[in-house]
């Protein structure tokens, strides 16, 4: 294999032939969708190469990326997956899109779509600095501060714990992060809370929204840390269920998303409903930063090799993903109220691969990965890791 970085400002034909292209064109795609002429040209050039070379594997397909960049579409996809799976351990938070300023009929539409106060308001675009700006709305008065277009989603109490699932093909790693504390259900006189999710859910985050007070939890209610020692969680109040996500559920959710969209590199934000113990997917991210995933580069190299050997299941799902993406975009009316320009390409083929699993009991709760039964050359690994590390550090 011979990896190298593509220059999309130059003809791609002159830089091939290419077996696999790994890209993070999220910024370029968004700018193209806003009619930026340079970005439109780059995306068009990239798409023309894809159309002319159907044998080239794209990680990940552009239609799937566009779905994940649109919270309204990705939430609808999750709703469909939940309905298809019929697994009582999974719940899809009610949501709807607001496209215009809230009027007299907004509350009726909110109720019709199954939402109740409090709910969380997010930008429709699920990428970029602004996508992390959010608000918790507690009453009708708070709706006046909402700036459409945006997506509102029911807030589910989850004892201030978020589980980020980082997926690389069939491999995934679960990382525990702080999250929003519990709030009382129903309308209240609280003022809306505006926040940046990076200030709440990053590993180093320290926010009053996650730890306003340290409560002393009775020993019977204490959480057991990965090391086996009990600790008192820094929450206003721990209520109901407080448990880790189920490995089988995470595996099925990530598998369903891979098969539905034909994607390999994505993240899933999951919380555990503290009343029902159900898993709720609250966001999906295209090609996340994989912060806290020490095996990312190894998993990526393994996945590339599996793809080249035709073993990766999402490769066989590309036609289905295009169809599902079209179906998803056509369903949204019911729920509507009136990056780097470089790509990493891989040339050549190598080795056969098998699947194995392992468990890690640190803050990285679960990790399942692909392992190889024939070695990839050390020089290739070093080149790939160095190239990808440079790209990842810029995100």
The DSSP output letter for 39 is: H
Separation of alpha carbons 23 and 363, rounded Å: 29
Q: Which two tokens stand for residue 118?
A: 């409090």
Cβ 3 vs Cβ 11: under 8 Å: no
Q: Which residue is associated with the tokens 């002393």?
A: 216
| Position 244 confidence tier, pLDDT thresholds 50, 70, 90 | confident
Q: Which residues contact 201 (CB under 8 A, 6 or more apart)?
A: 162, 164, 177, 178, 179
Helix axes 318-329, 71-85, angle to 10 degrees: 110
| Position 128 confidence tier, pLDDT thresholds 50, 70, 90 | confident
**Strands 171-178 and 161-168, how do they pair?**
antiparallel
Q: Which two tokens stand for residue 161?
A: 């714990």
159: closest CA among 205, 119, 211? 211
> CA dihedral in degrees (58, 63, 64, 65; nearest 10)?
80
- pLDDT higher than threshold 50 for residue 352: no
At 12-31, the pLDDT tens digits run 999 988 999 999 999 999 99
- pLDDT higher than threshold 60 for residue 353: no
| Position 366 confidence tier, pLDDT thresholds 50, 70, 90 | low
What pLDDT is attached to residue 346?
A: 56
Q: Which residues contact 154 (CB under 8 A, 6 or more apart)?
A: 93, 94, 95, 114, 115, 116, 119, 120
**Strands 20-23 and 57-59, how do they pair?**
parallel
- Greater confidence (347 vs 313) lies with 313
> Is the dihedral angle over the CA atoms 253, 313, 323, 342 positive or is it negative?
positive
- pLDDT higher than threshold 50 for residue 6: yes
Mean of per-residue pLDDT scores for the chain: 78
Separation of alpha carbons 103 and 337, rounded Å: 10
Cα-based angle 21, 24, 28 (whole degrees, multiple of 5) = 115
Average pLDDT, integer, range 171-180? 94
93: closest CA among 69, 109, 74? 74
268: closest CA among 138, 30, 75? 75
| Position 227 confidence tier, pLDDT thresholds 50, 70, 90 | very low
Separation of alpha carbons 344 and 351, rounded Å: 20
Separation of alpha carbons 335 and 110, rounded Å: 9
Separation of alpha carbons 152 and 392, rounded Å: 30
Q: Name the burial class of residue 220, with classes exposed (0-12), middle (13-18) and buried (19+) by CB atoms within 10 angstroms of its CB.
A: exposed
Average pLDDT, integer, range 92-96? 95
- pLDDT higher than threshold 60 for residue 135: yes
Cβ 348 vs Cβ 156: under 8 Å: no
Q: What are phi and psi of 28, to 5 degrees?
A: -65, -40
Q: Which residues contact 121 (CB under 8 A, 6 or more apart)?
A: 134, 135, 136, 137, 146, 150, 151, 152
């Amino acid at each position: 294999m011979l990896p190298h970085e593509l220059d999309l400002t130059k003809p791609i034909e002159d830089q091939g032939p290419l077996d696999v292209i790994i890209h993070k064109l999220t910024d370029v795609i968004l700018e193209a969708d806003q009619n930026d002429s340079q970005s439109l040209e780059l995306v068009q050039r990239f798409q023309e190469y894809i159309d002319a070379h159907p044998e080239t594997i794209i990680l990940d397909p552009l239609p799937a990326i566009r779905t994940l960049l649109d919270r309204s579409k990705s939430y609808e996809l999750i709703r469909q997956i939940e309905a298809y799976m019929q697994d009582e351990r999974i719940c899809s938070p009610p949501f709807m899109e607001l496209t215009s300023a809230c009027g007299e009929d907004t509350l009726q539409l909110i109720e019709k779509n199954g939402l109740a106060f409090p709910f969380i308001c997010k930008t429709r675009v699920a990428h970029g600095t602004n996508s992390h700006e959010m608000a918790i709305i507690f009453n009708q008065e708070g709706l006046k501060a909402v700036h459409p277009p945006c997506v509102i989603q029911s807030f589910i109490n989850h004892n201030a714990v978020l589980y980020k699932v980082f997926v690389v093909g069939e491999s995934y790693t679960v990382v525990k992060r702080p999250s929003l504390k519990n709030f009382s259900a129903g309308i209240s006189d609280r003022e809306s809370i505006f926040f940046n999710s990076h200030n709440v859910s990053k590993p180093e985050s320290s926010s009053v929204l996650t730890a306003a007070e340290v409560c002393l939890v009775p020993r019977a209610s204490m959480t057991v840390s990965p090391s086996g020692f009990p600790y008192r969680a820094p929450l206003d109040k721990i209520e109901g269920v407080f448990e880790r996500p189920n490995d089988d559920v995470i595996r099925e959710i990530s598998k369903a998303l891979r098969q539905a969209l034909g994607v390999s590199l994505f993240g899933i934000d999951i919380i555990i409903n503290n009343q029902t113990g159900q898993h709720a997917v609250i966001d999906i991210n295209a090609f996340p930063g994989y912060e806290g995933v020490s095996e990312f580069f190894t998993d990526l190299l393994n996945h590339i090799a599996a793809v080249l050997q035709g073993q990766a299941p999402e490769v066989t799902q590309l036609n289905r993903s295009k169809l599902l993406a079209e179906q998803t975009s056509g369903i949204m009316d019911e729920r509507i109220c009136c990056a780097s320009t470089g790509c990493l390409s891989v040339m050549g083929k190598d080795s056969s691969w098998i699947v194995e699993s392992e468990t890690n009991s640190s803050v990285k709760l679960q990790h399942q990965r692909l392992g190889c039964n024939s070695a990839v050359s050390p020089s290739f690994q070093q080149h790939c890791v160095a190239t990808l590390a440079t790209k990842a550090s810029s995100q």
